[in-house]
Amino acid sequence: MAKDDELPRHFVDALGIKTAYYVSGEPNGRPLLCLHGMTASGDAWREFMRGLSGEHWLIAPDIPGFGESEATSPYVLPHLVEWLAAFHDALDLPPMLLVGHSFGGALAAAYTLAYPEDVTGLLLFAPALLTAQYYPDFVKKVGLSLGLADLSTAVSQSPRVVRRVAKASFYAPENIDEAVLERRIRAYEQARASADVLKALSFYDFQPELERLDKPVCLVWGENDTVVRPDDGETLLTLLPQAELRLIPECGHIPLQEKPAECVALGRRWLEDEKVRR
């Protein structure tokens, strides 16, 4: 996508953290707040936001420590939940639909459990909700795939490794537009908090709490995801009986950028569902 198609970036103070965010669509009283995954930024939602902006109001912040947002400490989910609550209040948002990818899906769920009155539904792409169940395998698998020599280093500095890693989460990287890949590389290089995310996810056990999550939920997975495997989706269906699971064929861990048209179509259909529109 050309540079002219970049979403406009704004800044706001949330919990004392200078937070960058992107907006698409017109305010309509029903915002979709989109939370990106690890080694990404709010710009990862660009195609999704453009695809739905004709009928929806979408907002995508850079989570602290990613993109253009300042870092924060301690880097634990409860603190990030409070940052998100402050961001919600700073923008004076009404109750919202949360959309999350991977780590962003975990943050969306944690926020919903803490502030259920602020959330009307959850659209989650490969949410990292069960990682505590298979720690340290998760840290080893994801850390190595991200080129992290150890958890004290956020990202590799080797351009060759960065390019290899940027491709690793796609099922068919040879089919990814070069401009999209360059955006992915740029976001990876700005991801200062990746190691902190790994630790935060690995020690936060969602499973005992998920029965309290009673909002409409749609789970979307790439069938060929090797980072957060689709088997997690099947497990989550047993823990969230109201949830739906949708699989995207020939797709890895980043469906938003590998299969953007399919993600927009799935999102549109789910958002038009009667139980979600209530």
Mean pLDDT, residues 73-97 taken together: 96
Report the Cα 262 to chain-centroid distance in Å: 17
Helix pair 103-114, 194-202: axis angle to 10 deg: 50
Nearest to 130 by CA among 241, 199, 232: 232
Q: What are the Cα distances from residue 274, in Å, to 51, 248, 269, 270, 278?
A: 21, 23, 10, 9, 6
Q: What is the pLDDT of residues 51-61, one digit of tens each?
A: 999 999 999 99
Sign of CA dihedral 173, 176, 177, 180: negative
Query: Which of helix, strand or coil describes residue 220?
Result: strand
- Per-residue pLDDT band at 149 (split at 50, 70, 90): very low
> Which of 28-42, 151-165, 200-214, 248-262 shows the lowest mean pLDDT across its residues?
151-165
Question: Does 154 have pLDDT greater than 60?
Answer: no
Alpha-carbon distance of 60 to 36, in angstroms, equals 8
The confidence score (pLDDT) of residue 150 equals 42
Which one has a higher pLDDT value, 111 or 144?
111
Neighbouring C-beta atoms of residue 245, cutoff 10 Å: 15
The confidence score (pLDDT) of residue 142 equals 54
Torsion of CA 251, 256, 257, 261, to 10 degrees: 80
Mean pLDDT, residues 122-147 taken together: 70
Alpha-carbon distance of 139 to 204, in angstroms, equals 13
The confidence score (pLDDT) of residue 175 equals 94
Q: What is the pLDDT of residues 165-224, one digit of tens each?
A: 788 889 999 999 999 999 988 888 888 777 788 778 877 889 999 999 999 999 999 999
Q: What average pLDDT does the chain have?
A: 88
- Dihedral class, residue 161 (left if φ above 0, else alpha if ψ from -120 to 50, else beta): alpha
Backbone angles phi, psi at 163, to 5 degrees: -65, -40
Question: Does 14 have pLDDT greater than 90?
Answer: yes
Domains of the chain: 3-277 (3.40.50.1820)
Question: Does 267 have pLDDT greater than 90?
Answer: yes
Read off the pTM: 0.91
Mean pLDDT, residues 34-41 taken together: 94
Question: Does 143 have pLDDT greater than 60?
Answer: no
Percent share of the chain, pLDDT over 70 = 89
Cis geometry, peptide bond prior to residue 74 (ω within 30 degrees of 0): yes
Q: Are strands 96-101 and 57-61 parallel, antiparallel or unpaired?
A: unpaired
